[in-house]
Amino acid sequence: MADIIKEIHDAVVAYRKDAIVEKVEKAINEGIEARRILHDGFIAAMDVVGEKYSQGDMFIPEMLAAAQSMKLGLEKIKPLLQGEVAAEDSKGVVVIGTVKDDIHDIGKNLVAMMLEGAGFEVHDIGIDNPPENFVAKVKEVNARVLGMSALLTTTMPNMKEAIDVLKDEGLYDKVHVIVGGAPVSQQYADEIGAGGYAADAVAAVEAVKNLLKN
C-alpha cells in the first residue's frame, strides 16, 4: 500500500476530518487512481471501523465521525470516479429509509454509511416513508436492494405494506429486500417476505453482499 493510501486509511479510522481532504488531494496529485483511494483507503478503513465497533473498541459517535471523514474525502474523488470506475467497481444501488410513522433513523444512517463505505451507491430517502416512497425511489434509481428500518413493533407492519406494494408493481422479484431495527428478527423478515435481515450496521453490509451474490 502506498504511504499516502495508508495515511488516508488511517485518517478515516482515526476520524481525522481536519486532515482527510489534504491527504486525498495529495494522493490525487501523486497520480493515484481514485478507485484505488476508494478501495484501499476508504472501503478498507470502514471495514476496520466496522470491526472495531463490533468488538466494542469504538462507540457509535466515533463510527459516525469516521464516516463523516470518509464522506469529506469521497466528495473529492467523486468527479474522478465517474470517469474511472468500471462496472465491476459498482457493488450495486441501494435505496434505504425508515418506514411510515418511524422517525428513528440512527440505525438506518449507520447502515447507509457502512454500505457507502463498502462501495455501494446508497440513496437514503430519510424517515417516515409510506410504501409508495420506497417503490418510487427503487424505480427511479433502478435499485437492486431496498433496505427498510423500523424501531417499533407498531411500525414493523409497514415493512410488509411496502413489500406488498413492490409485489403489486411487479418489482418484488427484481429487488432484494433487507429489513432491520430493534424489534425485527430473521423470523419476522421471513414472515413478511424480506430476503435479508441484519441485526446491526456491520451485519447489514454482509447481508447485502450475500443477497447480491444470489
Partner 1 sequence: MRNIFSKRLSVEVFLDNLLCSQGFKERAQVRPEITEQAARALDLALQFVEPAFVLDRFPVGPAGENKVKVGKIELNMGDNACLLEKAEEAVIYVTTIGGKLEKAVNELSRRGNWELGYWLDCAGVLALNAVDREVWTLVESMAEQEGYGVGMSLSPGSLKGWPVEEQRGLCSLLDTNRVGVSVNASYLLVPYKSASNLIGMGPGYNSARVLPACDYCVSEGNCWMKHAQGGA
User: What residues make contact with partner 1 under the rule CB under 8 A?
Assistant: 15, 17-18, 59-62, 64-65, 67-68, 71, 101-103, 105-106, 109, 113, 126-127, 152-155
Are the C-beta atoms of 42 and 13 separated by less than 8 Å? no
Closest distance to partner 1 from the beta carbon of 173 (Å): 29
CB-nearer residue toward partner 1: 151 or 175: 151
CB-nearer residue toward partner 1: 135 or 151: 151
Residue 59 burial (CB count, 10 A): 11
Closest distance to partner 1 from the beta carbon of 147 (Å): 16
Q: Which residues of 154-182 are buried (b: 16+ CB within 10 A; e: fewer)?
A: ebbebbbbbbebbeebebbeebbbbbbbe
The vertex-170 CA angle with 169 and 172, nearest 5°, equals 105
Closest distance to partner 1 from the beta carbon of 64 (Å): 4
CB-nearer residue toward partner 1: 97 or 195: 97
One DSSP character per residue, 65-80 reads HHHHHHHHHHHHHHHH
Q: Are strands 93-98 and 145-149 parallel, antiparallel or unpaired?
A: parallel
Closest distance to partner 1 from the beta carbon of 101 (Å): 4
CB-nearer residue toward partner 1: 127 or 199: 127
